[in-house]
Amino acid sequence: MSGAGPGPSQGILDTSTVVLLRRLTDADALPDEPLITAVTLAELAVGPLVATEDDERARRQVHLQQAEADFVPLPFDASAARAFGVIAASLRRAGRKTAARTYDAMIAAGRAQPHHVLPETGWVSCWMDGPEDAPGVIELFRMQYDRYRKATAKTA
């Protein structure tokens, strides 16, 4: 937000933002008082539980513990649940797929991030920093392939 005036004094960080905080190069892009919700902690808790390798499990556990140490989460109460219901119903009426939950879980686990060009689509981006990242990317492609195969088998 540099040059555009001061940022908001408070703001809720999305789970993907919390996962990527270490990569942040411009702290002015964050609100003065960044907040998270209990949902973000729940999504971060998924990461270590679904990791298939010890190193990755440890990395995700560090993310979770750092978030627990750095933030006091806002509760996801009845009012928030009703607001979520309104948003989810609106998305369904607009024809949006509910499979975004799968993508949210991948983002929370640090395996992907919202699509870098079209974040509103529910698509994800997964970056490769080297050959060691190939198995994870292949696994994401396999998950997507299996999801589409299952969906087309239902309609056939």
Distance (Å, rounded) from C-alpha 126 to C-alpha 103? 11
CA dist., res. 132 & res. 137, Å (int): 10
Model confidence over 6-55: pLDDT tens digits?
Answer: 445 777 887 878 888 887 777 777 788 888 888 888 888 888 888 888 99
- CA dist., res. 156 & res. 152, Å (int): 6
Kindly state the tokens that stand for 119.
Answer: 């974040």
Average pLDDT over residues 121-137: 70
CA dist list (Å): 107 to 44, 62, 66 = 9, 16, 17
Polymer length of the chain: 156
pTM over 0.75: no
pLDDT in tens, 52-95: 889 989 988 998 999 999 998 888 777 777 776 776 677 677 77
